[in-house]
């Protein structure tokens, strides 16, 4: 939950109302988890200062044998920067039960499909995209969105689109929606797209996408598809360079290997950049991501069947892990 300036009693009441509604959840085990979560969050809300901006983060082990009563709630107060970005947040919003016209509210992410985990990661670490509608330019993640520019006239040709994209610079006008610091977006080969119903004079270049929707969720899903496709191309390119070096009998600068060999290169500080299939090597990804010493690109798997774009990928064929070293060894 993300409380946005609610009075403590109102926040507690909103959570109590959600607790009551959790009685209708079908599974007994899930019902227990949600009842425990809302009970403990409501109790914690009662101890918070009025008007506080903070996360109430409930964590519980749902593995077989774990009990719902072991869940704990942590209150994480927002920084000054994060408070300033609350107006950009997108999500399920709840007002005080006794004052539905209040300007204050609480966002609640729950559900059975890891909505809370997805929202937590997105708010804190989500990579932003840039999308252009017929009237505005936005910077957005799945759960954050900021308007950056209003278009004064319609964009009708591909040249107009390319000209507009070329003018989109970090901080001018592209805003930062990062909760960690001022990190304005820089346009790259996959993160900019048109959104909505567009009729242009010719095809767009590959570096500019187009998705026929204005749904924030669908736009971000499309962005993630573009990102995954680009990362796979980059990983394939790295493997191809490795194979060229092998044919030339050069000392390797790039290696596609097991996590055991990758771990050795990582420990010896030889690794510069690594592309890895997170679904296969989750523990390795988690360690590298936590320590932050190496540039890590998690290549998200999509459909890998024989008819997919990934069929025949060099990266997939070589195990889903390739890394570049600082020098040849």
Residues 26-70 pLDDT 10s: 777 788 888 899 999 999 999 999 999 999 999 887 666 666 567
Mean pLDDT of 197-206: 94
Question: What are the C-alpha distances in Å from 221 to residues 79, 176, 209, 215, 259?
Answer: 29, 20, 12, 10, 29
Mean pLDDT of 59-85: 83
Is pLDDT above 90 for 154?
no
- Token code pair at residue 130: 């840039």
Helix, strand, coil in percent for the chain, rounding step 5: 35, 20, 40
Q: Please state, in angstroms and rounded to a whole number, the distance separating the CA atoms of residues 58 and 69.
A: 12
Q: How many CA atoms lie within 13 A of 314 on its CB side?
A: 17
Closest C-alpha to 251, from 259, 260, 242: 242
For residue 30, how many other CB atoms are within 10 A of its CB?
16
Question: Residue 16: which pLDDT band, with cuts at 50, 70 and 90?
Answer: very high
CA–centroid distance for 66 within its chain: 28
Mean pLDDT of 206-233: 94
Mean pLDDT of 59-87: 84
Q: Please state, in angstroms and rounded to a whole number, the distance separating the CA atoms of residues 119 and 143.
A: 7
Closest C-alpha to 2, from 114, 96, 89, 88: 89
**8 Å CB contact between 209 and 222:** yes
Q: Please state, in angstroms and rounded to a whole number, the distance separating the CA atoms of residues 11 and 58.
A: 15
Q: Write down the H helix ranges in the chain.
A: 8-21, 28-45, 80-85, 115-125, 158-166, 216-247, 259-267, 282-291, 314-317
């Amino acid at each position: 939950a993300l409380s946005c300036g609610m009075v403590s009693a109102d926040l507690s009441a909103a959570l109590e109302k959600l607790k009551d509604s959790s009685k209708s959840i079908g599974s007994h085990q899930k019902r227990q988890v949600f009842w425990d979560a809302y009970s403990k969050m409501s109790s914690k809300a009662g101890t918070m200062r009025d008007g506080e901006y903070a996360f109430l983060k409930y964590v519980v082990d749902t593995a077989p044998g774990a009990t719902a009563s072991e869940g704990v709630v942590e209150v994480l107060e927002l920084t000054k920067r994060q408070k300033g970005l609350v107006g950009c947040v997108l999500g399920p919003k709840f007002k005080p039960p006794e004052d539905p016209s209040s300007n204050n509210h609480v966002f609640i992410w729950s559900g059975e499909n890891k909505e809370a985990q997805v929202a937590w990661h997105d708010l804190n670490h989500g990579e932003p995209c840039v999308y252009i509608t017929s009237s505005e330019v936005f910077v957005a993640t799945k759960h954050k969105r900021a308007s950056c520019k209003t278009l004064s006239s319609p964009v009708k040709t591909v040249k107009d689109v390319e000209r507009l994209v070329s003018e989109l610079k970090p901080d001018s006008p592209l805003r930062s929606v990062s909760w960690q610091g001022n990190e304005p977006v820089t346009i790259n080969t996959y993160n900019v797209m048109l959104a909505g119903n567009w009729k242009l004079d010719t095809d767009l270049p590959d570096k500019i996408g187009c998705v026929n929707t204005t749904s924030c969720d669908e736009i971000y899903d499309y962005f993630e598809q573009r990102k995954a496709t680009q990362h796979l191309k980059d990983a394939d390119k790295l493997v191809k360079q490795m194979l060229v070096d092998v044919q030339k009998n050069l000392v390797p600068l790039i290696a596609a290997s097991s996590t055991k060999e990758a771990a050795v290169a990582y420990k010896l500080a030889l690794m510069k950049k690594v592309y890895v299939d997170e679904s296969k090597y989750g523990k390795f990804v988690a360690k590298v991501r936590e320590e932050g010493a190496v540039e890590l690109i998690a290549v998200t798997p999509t459909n890998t069947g024989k008819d997919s774009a990934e069929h025949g990928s060099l990266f997939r064929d070589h195990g889903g892990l390739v890394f570049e070293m600082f020098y040849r060894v």
